[in-house]
Structure 1
Amino acid sequence: MTPEGTKLINVIILGCGFLLVFSAFQTGGNIEQTVIKSINSTRFHGSGYTSLAIIYSVFSASNILTPSIVAVLGARLSMVISGLVYSVYSAVFIEPFTWSFYLASVIIGIAAAVIWTAQGNCLTTNSDENTIGRNSGIFWALLQFSLLFGNLYIYLAWKGETHISDHNRRTVYIALTVISGVGSILFLLIRQPVSEVSSTEQNKPDDESDTVLGPQEQRSQAIDAIRSAICIFFTKDMLLLSITITYTGVELTFFSGVYGTCLGATNGFGNEAKSLIGLSGIFIGVGEIIGGATFGLLNKFLRKYLGIGRNPIVLLGLLCHIIAFYLIFLNVPGDSPIVSDEGTARVSYLIPSKTIAMVCSFLLGLGDSCFNTQLLSIVGYMYSEESAPAFAVFKFVQSISAAIAFGYSNYLLLKWQLLILGVVGLFGTISFILVEWKTEAHSRGFSYNRI
């Protein structure tokens, strides 16, 4: 197989592994707060929002060290170990205790930082300037299939349920644990690109081709990775992109945890309220997949023949989200994010409509894919030689904003959460456009400096 063919296969395996691991995690996160409200146990007093806030807080802090971990272990082994930790987090819900729930939240926060830094490194290593857009789209589309399968089961199994039984909870989380474990093992199939193997062997004497780095070399490599991440974070371009990345963290919180909870707590949807959590996840996934396929796989075609670069796609993402936020404000009760398991009988400006709710889910997914595919593309392009530190910074900013958003989701009414999303989204789009103008100038032959 050609080196290019090996790289493409690696990207597909990477996407399939993430599909399985995050089928478990994203489905579990989508239903987490609803499941917890239904747990009838004196020994469990956890909060799904609090757990997710812990995860993303630890995720954020851990990104300082993850370039070092990936540098020492390598991207493949880093993803295998981290994926197995995701399985442990799902297993906690089989027989939940407060202490194990929050301990697992801390541990998976570390694993999340490692797996996403390794993913960025693996994606960039298997791409070049001409294929980074395509490969980002392939990975993103495969990843977002994770929103379909688990949520389809939730929709079918929980249809008509007003309370989630212990049996239903255990069945779901046993399945999610197994699925996540299979995805972790799949990462072992990723191979080092042929071109890299050849160049590495050519640059080594024959007796050193299998030499393993000693402790001193590993320590030096780890320190260099941390130093590189800090330097990248304080460049002007990354500081501007951080506003856009912050928005992806805040809206990730909303569509992956808050919106489903709002639907499940709206009594106006009747007995289907709980099953709508799964159906909403499916429509979010459809939007993500269509966006990833269109703006990732067709990236080269859109740029070459239609002259559509990254900026119009990000603007489309903002438009999708603004429309979704407005319709959600009209359709969903304002107190739905924070009410108890009994739900809310209040009505917003419209009688709750399942059709409008699912349209909003689709728009949330489509808009999210617009932002994330273009961010993956531009970061991979700008920092191709320092991919692991750059993606560590990406995830550091995204996770800390997600942690803050999950923190206030416990307390703020829906209208205030939507207002925050709209304001941050607007400024994030402006900052992305400024950086993209600079990269376009570079691609036309003008000087490009990351200052």
Structure 2
Amino acid sequence: MAFDRGFINVLLLGLAFMLVFTAFQTWGNIQKTMIDSIIADDPDFKGNAYVSLAIVYVFLAVFNWAAPSAISILTAKYSMLIGGITYLLFIASFSIPHTALLYIASAVVGTGAALIWTGQGNYLALNSTPATISRNSGIFWAMLQFSMFIGNMFVFFAFKNKDTIDSSTRQVVVWTLSAIALVGIAVMVFFPKPPKKDESDNSPDDRVEAPSGPVEALKGAVRLFLTTNMLLLCVTFIYTGLELGFWSGVYSASVGATLNLPNSKELIGISGIFIGLGEVIGGAAFGILGSKTIRWGRDPIVIGGFVIHVLSFFIIFLNLPNQSPIGETNDTAFITSNAYLAILCSFLLGFGDACYNTQIYSILGGVYASDSASAFAIFKFTQSVAAAVCFSYASYLNLYGQLGILIVSAILGTITFVLVEWQTKRLLVEAASNVSVSEYSAESPEPTS
């Protein structure tokens, strides 16, 4: 069996992102709780967790358009390295809480996120072939989301038996997560160059040519964005952004704000662990079964993710009070709020998210392999705009309104993904048929006169 350098590079990529996002995703899960505790200690601090996260995703969306140009100059490796450093600076900034610093750091990490995520998509595509992209996407996603398990396990013990989060606990959490992010950045320093590919490894893709420089990269991204299939996929990207905002910043905080749940603050960490567990199991399953899911198509997995998410939204609707996203509440839900149901929904949210994201990575890395930097930049732009919108209304819109938006966007996003996948499969069948006809014609003897 030949040594697969590309697969080793994907494992290194997954390890680095697992470490960096052990820090960042864990912080996002607890940021509202941490900021509320800072406000309780320091009334002069006026920061808002949802506003901070909205700023992150606005800057991520805006600078995504410049990311392909930056990658054409810096390369994917150094783009990810610079982006990783901004994540470290963002988390470390909470060691000296200041309202202006919070929002400046949010803008900085949003800019860095554009670099790290577009670079990641490009590096993943460069280390994959059409035959390995589903496997590599699934394994990367599982390793990335394992960060939710590690970080939130730490948070569970850090918050154990605490009704309020004191300053010393905050400092321990901030500096522990910062140290983990630093190790992830160190791994990025040692990323190898992607292996050279044979032309036969590349799928035929004549939609957009690979850019030759920063200006062409920007033009190519705009041209790709305006193609029919990409516009349809953007509807799917919007849904993943809305549900990303919900599970990463709203849901666990809502569980923690539901005072009818026993030890609700401890449940924040447990919720994050089970979101991560769902992500890891989903990503690993689709990674291990990558060769089979390519044959079945991506659409059954996305449809499965849709069913799982709708089920979780319905249980959340019954189990949590309407005011829980806005602040601590003793209100009752439709049923008696149950911790086990809340944690089950955490798992379902994570698993469903893995269904969508692994297949999006697969379709972008496979169908748009020749222009992966632009494709992933568009994905992150659209997803980030939607996440920013989610965090913008999270402070004001009650739970039922947020769930209603998620259900409508899930229906539309699933339909558009399935349409694009069906068209992609039809084009592949036609291309294979044409190749067969051409080979038959070439092998047929010339008629004699």
Q: If the length of structure 1 is used for normalisation, what is the TM-score?
A: 0.91
Match of 2:275?
284
Distance of 2:321 and 2:24 partners within structure 1: 27
Match of 1:360?
345
Distance of 2:186 and 2:372 partners within structure 1: 24
Say which SS state the counterpart of residue 70 (structure 2) adopts: helix
Residue 296 of structure 1, CA deviation: 2.5
Gaps of 5+ in 1: 200-218
Instruction: Output one character per residue of 1:92-131: Cα deviation in whole Å (capped at 9) or x when no partner.
Output: 1112111111100000000000100000000000001100
CA contact (8 A) 2:141 2:358 kept: yes
1:157 is aligned to 2:158: yes
Residue 275 of structure 1, CA deviation: 1.0
Match of 1:169?
170
Distance of 2:344 and 2:130 partners within structure 1: 35
CA contact (8 A) 1:133 1:297 kept: no
Residue 135 of structure 1, CA deviation: 0.5
Distance of 1:36 and 1:172 partners within structure 2: 13
Distance of 1:337 and 1:302 partners within structure 2: 37
Match of 1:57?
58
Residue 347 of structure 1, CA deviation: 0.8
Which amino acid is the alignment partner of residue 172 of structure 2? T
Residue 47 of structure 1, CA deviation: 0.5
CA RMSD of aligned residues (A): 1.7
Residue 446 of structure 1, CA deviation: 4.2
Gaps of 5+ in 2: 200-210, 434-449
Give 4+ residue runs of structure 1 displaced > 6 Å after superposition: none
Distance of 2:293 and 2:184 partners within structure 1: 32
Matches within 5 A, 1:64-143: 64-143=65-144
- Count the aligned residue pairs: 420
Instruction: Output one character per residue of 1:344-403: Cα deviation in whole Å (capped at 9) or x when no partner.
Output: 111101111011001100000000000000000011111100010111111000000100
Residue 154 of structure 1, CA deviation: 1.1
Matches within 5 A, 1:223-238: 223-238=215-230
CA contact (8 A) 2:80 2:188 kept: yes
1:309 is aligned to 2:297: yes
Which amino acid is the alignment partner of residue 55 of structure 1? V
Distance of 1:303 and 1:435 partners within structure 2: 15
Q: If the length of structure 2 is used for normalisation, what is the TM-score?
A: 0.91
CA contact (8 A) 2:72 2:212 kept: no
Say which SS state the counterpart of residue 196 (structure 2) adopts: helix
CA contact (8 A) 1:95 1:170 kept: no
Residue 301 of structure 1, CA deviation: 2.5
Which amino acid is the alignment partner of residue 419 of structure 2? L
Matches within 5 A, 1:217-366: 221-270=213-262, 272-304=263-295, 308-339=296-327, 343-366=328-351
Distance of 1:99 and 1:303 partners within structure 2: 48
Residue 193 of structure 1, CA deviation: 2.9
CA contact (8 A) 2:158 2:173 kept: no
Which amino acid is the alignment partner of residue 9 of structure 1? I
Match of 1:29?
28
Match of 1:438?
423
Distance of 2:46 and 2:17 partners within structure 1: 31
- In structure 2, the CA distance between the partners of 1:302 and 1:82, relative to structure 1 (3 Å rule), is closer
